[in-house]
Amino acid sequence: MTREEAFTQFLLRMGDNTLILGHRVSEWCGHAPVLEEDIALANTALDLIGQTQMWLGLAGEVQGEGKSADDLAFLRDAWDFRNVLLCEVPNGDFGRTLMRQFLFDAWHSIQLGRLMKSSDERVAAIAEKASKEVAYHLERSADTVVGLGDGTEESRRRMQEALDYLWPYVGEMFQSDDVDAEMVKAGIAPDPASLREEYDALISRILGDATLTIPESRFAHKGGRTGAMHTEHLGHLLTQMQWLQRAYPGAKW
Amino acid sequence: MKNEWPLWEIFIRGQHGMSHRHVGSLHAPDAEMAIKNARDVYTRRNEGVSIWVVEANHISASSPSDKGPLYEPSESKVYRHPTFFDIPEEVGAM
């Protein structure tokens, strides 16, 4: 694997995370429990899709096959996606959506903090821009997790169920492979495993405030960030997200 | 509805504004979330640099039926408005 190939994979991982999660969150548009949350979720989705444009735009550039961010988003099949499985699992109820958001935001904010010191200045610039948005996402999702976790009997039960369901998807964010080793060597990105300690400290504090119990198991589903095996949910998501470009190739806004 | 979040009135100071202006209202469980919701609902397009939120039931308002006694007496007293002075040109815009 060349440096460029590894770099492209890394950028696809960043961009596919934000693309797929952004699409998932956008599914709430018009359906959220209250108007204010509806708008907030749509804003989060838009932020994530904006970040996707930057990551996938750079991925296309580094890849050097003349592909645009749109080509990468709309013309790849499920096995070409490199997002972690956490981003593609269905929304479930509002509590599960916000729990997923929190578990991702916590990782995302730490990752972007490290990427701001990347040896590649394009990566550092994207991270710098995205980190301000993500700091807000994290503040909001953490507050909501605490509010619902330390809330009514029903909201607490739902948040604990959400955490139990999503927990096996957390570990994948910290798995390292050859791509990561190459990125570490080039000083472009940190070793994912090196984020775990900071992550655990952050989520333990918030989930503690939320009176929720972190499951003991460290079992982790995997296969998303390597593309080896996505969940069955990703294909369904892509049929929604990609149908227009598939049915009307090259259609412009 | 009993379980509905309280209503908050939102005040935003714009980029060049000197004072906070009322922009609307929204629902939120507490003051912190009201500020966050206001950020998402009212400042998405760079409208503000500062947000105040006040729970609506903490605002006391004049009653519309008091309109007469409260405001009418001032309507016929044009001399309360300083519109009768000639302003020297060198003063410039007031």
Burial tier of A37 (Cβ tally within 10 Å: 0-12, 13-18, 19+): buried
| Both structure tokens of A76 | 């790849």
Alpha-carbon distance A7 to nearest alpha carbon in chain B (angstroms): 33
Digit-coded pLDDT (tens) for A200-234: 999 999 999 999 999 999 899 999 999 999 999 99
Contacts of B36 in chain A (CB under 8 A): 40, 139-140, 143
**Chain A / chain B CB contacts < 8 angstroms:** 26
Hey, are the CB atoms on B36 and A140 less than 8 Å from each other?
yes
Q: For residue A43, list chain B residues with Cβ-Cβ distance below 8 A.
A: 40, 44
- What tokens appear for A23 in the block? 């699409």
And the tokens for B31?
């003051």
Question: Are A88 and A231 in contact, with CB atoms under 8 Å apart?
Answer: yes
Judging contacts by C-beta atoms under 8 Å, the chain A residues touching residue B39 are 136
Prediction pTM value: 0.88
Mean pLDDT computed over B15-34: 90
For range B14-35, the mean pLDDT = 90
ipTM score:
0.72
| Domains of chain B from N-terminus onward | 7-86 (3.10.20.520)
- Please report, in tens digits, the pLDDT of each residue of chain A (253 residues total): 899 999 999 999 999 999 999 999 999 999 998 899 999 999 999 999 999 999 999 999 999 999 999 999 999 999 999 999 999 999 999 999 999 999 999 999 999 999 999 999 999 999 999 999 999 999 999 999 999 999 999 999 999 999 999 999 999 999 999 999 999 999 999 999 999 999 999 999 999 999 999 999 989 999 999 999 999 999 999 999 999 999 999 898 7
Q: How many other CB atoms are there within 10 angstroms of residue B19's CB atom? A: 7
Smallest CA–CA distance from A46 into chain B, residue? B44
- pLDDT the model gives residue B1: 47
Separation between Cα atoms, residue A236 and residue A233, nearest integer Å: 5
Across B28-43, average pLDDT? 92
Candidates B5, B47, B1, B48; CA nearest to B25 is: B5
Q: Which of A28, A34, A36 to mutate to test the interface with B (most CBs of B within 10 A)?
A: A36
Per CB-CB distance under 8 Å, the chain B contacts of A140 are 36
Q: What is the predicted pLDDT for the residue at B94?
A: 64
Q: Is residue A26 within 8 Å of residue A20, measured between CB atoms? A: no
- Strands ordered across the beta sheet of B7-13: B21-27, B7-13, B50-55
Report the mean per-residue pLDDT for chain B: 86
Q: How many Å apart are CA B33 and CA B26, to the nearest integer?
A: 10
DSSP label of A209: H
**What confidence tier does B86 reach under pLDDT thresholds 50, 70, 90?**
confident
Please indicate whether, in this complex, the C-beta atoms of A36 and B27 are within 8 angstroms of each other. yes
The partner residue sitting opposite B40, judged by closest CB among A43, A143, A147, is A43
* Residues of chain B with C-beta less than 8 angstroms from the C-beta of A39: 37, 40-41
